[in-house]
Chain A
Amino acid sequence: MSISLLASIGGLTTVGLYLITARSLSRIILGFSLLGHAAVLSLLVAGGPPAAAPIAGGDAPIANPLPQALALTAIVISFGLTLFLLALAARQQALTGDDLVEDDLEDQRIAASSNEEDRSAAAST
């Protein structure tokens, strides 16, 4: 198992995690793409060492085709997701002037109502 590939996976995962926890949606999209790459590489690494392309009929030993088929799906789906998120970011920019992910309003309301109850309880005692 190649340390180079493992290091790539580790690096992509680290930066990907760091970016998806950012506030800016375009950074989150970047992070998501990086995590997608990391997943594809993980599939490939788990499938075995490099070999000839999986074409039937050759003499040389061929690479494991199954993880490649899985990885192909992963690439295409993360492609669709990335583009869709980009469109969402552009839409948000048009609506709010930036692409920041704000805290969920409903959750803020719950937190605020419990605080309010505390205050009114304190005021009544």
Chain B
Amino acid sequence: MIWVFLIAHVAGVGCAAVAGRSGIRTALGVAAIAPTLTAMWAGVSMASGAPPTTSTFPWVDGLGLAFRFRTDALAMMMTLLVCGIGVLVFVYAIGYFAPNAGGASRFPASLLAFSTSMLGLVWADSAWTLFIFWELTSITSFLLVGHNNTDAAVRIAARRALMITGGGGLALLAGLLLLENEAGTSTLTDLTPVQGSAANVAAVLVLIGAATKSAQVPFHVWLPGAMAAPTPVSAYLHSATMVKAGVLLIAVTGPAFTGLAVWKAVGLTFGIASMLWGAVGALRHRDAKLILAWGTVSQLGLLVTLLSLGTAKSIFAAVSILFAHALFKAALFAVVGEIDIRTGTRDITELGGLHRTMPIAFAVAVAAGMSMAGVPPLLGFAAKEAAIEAVLGLSGFDAVVGATAVIFGSVLTVAYTTRFLITVFGPGPTTKVAPRRIAMTIPAVMLAGAGVLGFIAMGTVNAIVRPAAIELNPKAEVYELLRWPGITTGLLTSLGIVAVGLALGAAIARRATPRIPAPVGADGADAAIDGVLKFAPRLTGRVQHGSLPVYLVTMAGVATLAALPLALDGSTDHLVAWDHPLQALLALVIVASAIAGAFVGSRLGAALTLGAIGTAMSGVFVLHGAPDLALTQLLVETVIVVGFVIGLGHLARRFPEVENTWRLTRLVVSGLGGLIIMAALAAAGADPSGTPPVGDLTAGAVEVGGGKNVVNVILTDLRGLDTLGEVVVLAVVAVGILALGSTTAREEVQ
């Protein structure tokens, strides 16, 4: 079943690209089909209580690699969010874009491609399947953020997002490799607790991967920049889906890592820093969309904090908030997009009085904002209440850190929500607004309405959220979301949070908000990326300078160093001065001729030394008991000397005088190379791996090959195909020489 929907999505990408020819709205409509069907399937199968399914598609069997998917409760909850919100976002985009907007093929297809990647990610049951779809979401989100590709600022923002999430992807890859090694499986639902130093490294790497994707401080710098994307993208990727991928990763790898102190420490550091710094950012900015983006950083920090605390109750609370946040944040983005389209600005200092001119948007914003702040009667209240109860139920150090951070973060959340609502909709010079676009209003109302309905029909939400949390921690089954918790410490704490937050938010909303520059971190990230792009060609220019001699010396030097260990051991007992006195004489001829050949200035002289060496080699072969080699060598040497003489007719008589500044380096490297080859051979000879199978070869030559010359039988029978290849090589060489020579001859005639 999973395959049907994945294929339907992929097919939809193609159809949307084609439909783009008849306008962006048609293409968006076509693209919405696959998510609609998938969302309906998810809804029906969850309502009917269908058991979880798995499906596997083999990839590389030998390595145990396979695409593995599963539809357990957590995956189904995410499916509902990805496809349900996806459909609404497609509808919203129909209103957002003008009918004649550019990128009509590109945008709907990219958005659906992202949706497909995200589905694969939430369904993945293998670490590698997850990783592939994880990277695909990075790439598709790059295309979506960079939609307005004629704007340089947009391109820089998209590049920053790609580089940071892509870099995190590399960390994740390393972390998953270590995790698979330690846990012995890549199946996410089979993960068992891991321990040891490698597990600790894996935990940190996986957390870094998650933190880049989920915009955790200090990797959060890409998310505010990504607000350069069209608002439907922000509502979809940057609130409901992609930024949740990191949180989801922490959740599904949690069973393996939860016991590790470093997992908890690093996770809490990321989470708490993001929760607080994100909230501060949301209080400082004056672009309404940036306020929401920073709010998302803060909310994601809360999720990471709750998951890192790792108790059944905090995991349950995290899953609940994940669900509620997707609804209210997407609704808020939808509202901001509508304001942007209808008023032409998102700057809160220029907005005001919109509660009169945009009453529906106001109602949606209030409902979604109250859900975000955790005020009843909304779904966000119940989820936040679960979080407060979870941190208040902790003990020891966790209780102090967790409870303080979550309570403080919640106060700030209420404060930035209040500031957002007051400054955008509250009293002020009423901004002129363009007519309503119904396709933008409906999705916003539905998203905010889901938060209200979710509170009323809490049983349905529990039926979605509880099994998902149980999937992650079986002990979570005792918890459920409550409409009314009764008068408890948690409720009183929540009331206090709301009261303090309201006062704080109202106070800040009255203050003038200076325009603040882009965060230093974003500039730093861009400078680092630029630096790499500048450094790369310079490094290439240095190491790949094009000089063949330098390459060869480098290669010879490295090979020499690699052979050094071989040369360093072995005894010298097996060495004799010579096998036959003549051998010593021939060796002398060989070495002396070689040296002479290297320094002689005339080409003919060099060719003659080569002939001398070849002849001496024949002598060595005769002494060694290799008459075939000796004959071949003599024949070859004769032809080569003839060849040299013919070739020299075309070359100058003497070698060209080349200024050679590094003759010494060449001498040292080649001398070392010669010495180490000698030493390595001597060492190898000291320890023969066994007696050569001379007897077998001889008997085989007679019986199989029917010949007495063993070397010939090997060449013509045992290695017949190799010898045929050799003949082919010689034929190709002959043709090549003929072609080169005849070209030159023809030119000379002309």
- Of the four ranges (under 10, 10 to 19, 20 to 34, 35 or more), the interface on chain B belongs to 35 or more
Could you tell me the distance between the alpha carbons of A9 and B590 in the complex, rounded to whole angstroms? 9
Closest CB of chain A to B572's CB: distance in Å?
9
> Within the complex, which residue of A46, A84, A94 is in contact with B736, where a contact is CB–CB below 8 Å?
A84
Q: Return the chain B residue nearest A112 by Cβ.
A: B541
Residue of B534, B538, B701, B722 with most chain A CB atoms under a 10 A cut-off: B538
A27: B residues at CB distance < 8 A = 606, 655
* Majority-rule SS of A interface residues: helix
Chain B window 587-621, contacts with chain A (Cβ cutoff 8 Å), 1 for yes, 0 for no: 10011001101100001001000100110010011
Instruction: Spot the interface stretch: B26-34, B463-471, B517-525, B741-749.
Output: B741-749
Could you tell me the distance between the alpha carbons of A9 and B583 in the complex, rounded to whole angstroms? 13
> Within the complex, which residue of A47, A65, A88, A101 is in contact with B740, where a contact is CB–CB below 8 Å?
A88
**B366 interface hit (Cβ, 8 Å):** no
Instruction: Spot the interface stretch: B182-190, B344-352, B574-582.
Output: B574-582
B502-548 contacts to A, CB under 8 A, are 534, 537-538, 540-542, 544-548
A18: B residues at CB distance < 8 A = 598, 666-667, 670
A41: B residues at CB distance < 8 A = 617, 620
Residue of A7, A104, A121 with most chain B CB atoms under a 10 A cut-off: A7
Known A68-B628, A79-B640, A90-B740; judge A54-B670 contact (CB<8 A). Answer: no
Query: Are B651 and A26 interface neighbours, CB within 8 A?
Result: yes
Closest CB of chain B to A77's CB: distance in Å?
6
Known A5-B587, A110-B541; judge A21-B666 contact (CB<8 A). Answer: yes
Query: Are A87 and B737 interface neighbours, CB within 8 A?
Result: yes
Closest CB of chain A to B339's CB: distance in Å?
40
Query: Are A44 and B709 interface neighbours, CB within 8 A?
Result: no
B684: A residues at CB distance < 8 A = 46
Query: Are A3 and B729 interface neighbours, CB within 8 A?
Result: no
Chain B window 688-714, contacts with chain A (Cβ cutoff 8 Å), 1 for yes, 0 for no: 100010100111011000011111001
**B671 interface hit (Cβ, 8 Å):** yes
**B629 interface hit (Cβ, 8 Å):** yes
**A59 interface hit (Cβ, 8 Å):** no
Query: Are A100 and B541 interface neighbours, CB within 8 A?
Result: no
Chain B window 461-483, contacts with chain A (Cβ cutoff 8 Å), 1 for yes, 0 for no: 00000000000000000000000
Known A50-B579, A90-B651; judge A75-B667 contact (CB<8 A). Answer: no
Query: Are B740 and A87 interface neighbours, CB within 8 A?
Result: yes
Known A8-B587, A68-B628; judge A107-B544 contact (CB<8 A). Answer: yes
Q: Return the chain A residue nearest B581 by Cβ.
A: A4
B624: A residues at CB distance < 8 A = 44, 50, 63
Q: Return the chain B residue nearest A106 by Cβ.
A: B546
Could you tell me the distance between the alpha carbons of A121 and B574 in the complex, rounded to whole angstroms? 65
Could you tell me the distance between the alpha carbons of A62 and B537 in the complex, rounded to whole angstroms? 59
A44: B residues at CB distance < 8 A = 620-621, 624, 626, 629
Could you tell me the distance between the alpha carbons of A105 and B583 in the complex, rounded to whole angstroms? 47
Instruction: Spot the interface stretch: B94-102, B425-433, B674-682.
Output: B674-682
Query: Are B678 and A10 interface neighbours, CB within 8 A?
Result: yes
Closest CB of chain B to A106's CB: distance in Å?
7
B740: A residues at CB distance < 8 A = 87-88, 90-91
Query: Are A3 and B534 interface neighbours, CB within 8 A?
Result: no
A123: B residues at CB distance < 8 A = none
Chain A window 1-44, contacts with chain B (Cβ cutoff 8 Å), 1 for yes, 0 for no: 11111111111111111111111101100100110011011101
**B549 interface hit (Cβ, 8 Å):** yes
Chain A window 90-106, contacts with chain B (Cβ cutoff 8 Å), 1 for yes, 0 for no: 11011000111101111
Closest CB of chain A to B570's CB: distance in Å?
10
Closest CB of chain B to A57's CB: distance in Å?
6
Q: Return the chain A residue nearest B533 by Cβ.
A: A117
Query: Are B538 and A55 interface neighbours, CB within 8 A?
Result: no
**Chain A: how many interface residues by the 8 Å CB criterion?**
95
> Within the complex, which residue of A10, A52, A103, A117 is in contact with B547, where a contact is CB–CB below 8 Å?
A103
Query: Are B553 and A65 interface neighbours, CB within 8 A?
Result: no
Could you tell me the distance between the alpha carbons of A39 and B511 in the complex, rounded to whole angstroms? 84
Chain A window 62-82, contacts with chain B (Cβ cutoff 8 Å), 1 for yes, 0 for no: 111110110111011101111
> Within the complex, which residue of A3, A83, A98, A114 is in contact with B537, where a contact is CB–CB below 8 Å?
A114
**B437 interface hit (Cβ, 8 Å):** no
**B632 interface hit (Cβ, 8 Å):** yes
A50: B residues at CB distance < 8 A = 579-580, 623-625
Closest CB of chain B to A69's CB: distance in Å?
4
Residue of A17, A50, A88, A100 with most chain B CB atoms under a 10 A cut-off: A17
A117: B residues at CB distance < 8 A = 534, 537
> Within the complex, which residue of B541, B587, B726 is in contact with A77, where a contact is CB–CB below 8 Å?
B726
A106: B residues at CB distance < 8 A = 546
Query: Are A34 and B594 interface neighbours, CB within 8 A?
Result: yes
Query: Are A13 and B674 interface neighbours, CB within 8 A?
Result: yes
Other A-B contacts than A10-B678, A15-B595, A112-B541, 14 sampled, CB-CB below 8 A, are A2-B579, A3-B577, A12-B674, A16-B594, A30-B610, A44-B620, A44-B629, A46-B685, A56-B709, A65-B694, A71-B629, A75-B632, A104-B546, A114-B540
By a beta-carbon cutoff of 8 Å, the part of chain A in contact with chain B is 1-24, 26-27, 30, 33-34, 37-38, 40-42, 44-57, 61-66, 68-69, 71-73, 75-77, 79-84, 86-91, 93-94, 98-101, 103-108, 110-115, 117-118, 121
Nearest 8 interchain pairs by C-beta: A107-B546, A111-B541, A14-B674, A17-B670, A104-B546, A11-B591, A63-B625, A114-B537
By a beta-carbon cutoff of 8 Å, the part of chain B in contact with chain A is 534, 537-538, 540-542, 544-549, 552-553, 556, 574-580, 583-584, 586-587, 590-591, 594-595, 597-598, 603, 606, 610, 613-614, 617, 620-621, 623-629, 632-633, 636, 639-640, 643-644, 647, 650-652, 655-656, 658, 660, 666-667, 669-671, 673-675, 677-678, 681-682, 684-685, 688, 692, 694, 697-699, 701-702, 707-711, 714-715, 719, 722-723, 726, 729-730, 733, 736-737, 740-741, 743-744, 747-748
Q: What are 15 inter-chain pairs, A to B, with CB distance below 8 A?
A: A1-B681, A4-B584, A7-B591, A9-B678, A19-B598, A21-B670, A33-B610, A33-B640, A54-B625, A71-B626, A72-B711, A84-B733, A86-B737, A91-B744, A111-B545
